Amino acid sequence: MDRREFLKKLFTYTATAGTTLLLGGAEKLFSRDTNARGLQPDLVAVKGGEAEDMFDAGMKALGGMGSFVKKGQTVAVKPNIGWDVSPELGANTNPKLVGRIVKRCYEAGAKKVIVFDHTCNYWKNTYKSSAIEYYAKQEKAQMAPAHLEGYYQNVTVPDGKELKQAKVHEAILSSDVFINVPVLKDHGSARLTSSMKNLMGIVWDRGYWHRNDLHQCIADFAACRKPDLNVVDAYRVMLGNGPRGVSASDVTLMKTQIISRDMVAADTAAAKVFGVEPSGIEYIRIAAARKLGEMDLNKLNIERITL
């Protein structure tokens, strides 16, 4: 199934039911408003609006930010801010989406919201050029640096096959809630960047992963600190020359967002949106085999929203 066919099925509309979603060739009929069983969605797919509006619509289906953030809690928000390029290149997470997430966290009662990434380019430049710093600070977030090893603490990776230990940023270890906000894009080594791959930005030594079976390390670390919420930004999607990007010609405007507690499910749906088979992305397959999440989307309650 190619990307065009998948997206057509993903957002097939059934007027009587309100939300019909086809994933992996099987129909998923689910709506919070009309579902008599009152099932909570495992994954929400939203299409057709601005990034911040899609987030609000998706979170409404999941019960609102109050279902994840409680009064007085500290929240760590981890977008992709790795590259010193403008938002139009799709290398970093949509800045307006990050700003909206911060706003909703504070509205839910958060005491502090920390936004950070262990960047590839110089961190002060990427924070600025991505516009994430601007929109996050507009909503009173604290932008934390991550460029020094002293910000990281050593942790043991549970049952890690290739990755046994990792130094993890203090913002993650000290937070009550962890919200993972990757941008969906091409990646030269991993083929695809999404939820699990985005966790490389919370560790100190990314180079070890690249030198020692990248896919296995990504899957190993997925068991270490699972995010409480994953918001996959597929507003602008870089289809080639990732992860930094070369020009706007590599980017397509998809205006799509995937939200789930389950990283494996989110990455599986994201792979299909991108136009590749999830089973062909090794770290997704390994993580699913380890029971770190659900790769069979037919088993999930999925809500589709078109704005």
Banded model confidence at residue 3, pLDDT cuts 50, 70, 90: low
Angle between helices 3-10 and 263-274 (to 10 degrees): 120
In whole angstroms, give the CA distance from residue 275 to residue 237.
11
Per-residue model confidence (pLDDT) at position 4: 58
Please check whether residue 294 lies inside any domain of the structure. Answer: yes
pLDDT in tens, 102-161: 999 999 999 999 999 999 999 999 999 999 999 999 999 999 999 999 999 999 999 999
Is a pLDDT exceeding 90 seen at residue 177?
A: yes
pLDDT digits (tens, 9 = 90+) for 202-248: 999 999 999 999 999 999 999 998 999 999 999 999 999 989 988 88
DSSP helix/strand/coil, 81: coil
Is residue 55, in this structure, part of any structural domain at all? no
Helix/strand/coil for 88: helix
Residue 5 has pLDDT above 60, yes or no: no
Whether 163 has a pLDDT exceeding 70, the answer reads yes
Residue 9 belongs to some domain of the structure: no
Per the CB < 8 A criterion, the answer to whether 172 and 204 are in contact is no
**Which range of residues forms the domain containing residue 265?**
62-301
- How many Å apart are CA 96 and CA 108, to the nearest integer? 18
Q: How confident is the model at residue 180 (pLDDT cuts 50, 70, 90)?
A: very high
Give one DSSP letter per residue of 128-170, joined into a string.
HHTSHHHHHHHTT-EE----SGGGEEEEEPTT-SS--EEEEEH
Specify if 147 maps to a domain.
yes
Q: Check residue 246 and give its pLDDT.
A: 81
User: Does residue 177 fall inside a structural domain?
Assistant: yes
7: in domain = no
> Residue 21 phi/psi, 5° resolution?
-130, 130
Checking phi first, is residue 146 left (phi over 0); if not, alpha (psi -120 to 50) or beta?
Answer: alpha
When divided into structural domains, the chain yields a total of 1
Q: What is the pLDDT of residue 188?
A: 86
Question: Is residue 255 situated within a structural domain?
Answer: yes
Would you state the pLDDT for residue 133? 98
Asked if 259 and 100 touch (Cβ cutoff 8 Å), the reply is no
Q: Is residue 192 part of a domain?
A: yes
Digit-coded pLDDT (tens) for 242-280? 899 888 899 999 999 999 999 999 999 999 999 999 999
Task: Please check the confidence at residue 25 and state whether its pLDDT lies above 60.
Answer: no
Predicted pLDDT of residue 18 = 33
pLDDT at 24 over 80: no
- Stronger pLDDT, 22 or 226, i.e. the higher one: 226
The CATH number of whichever domain residue 243 belongs to comes to: 3.40.50
pLDDT above 60: residue 10: no
84 has a pLDDT exceeding 50: yes
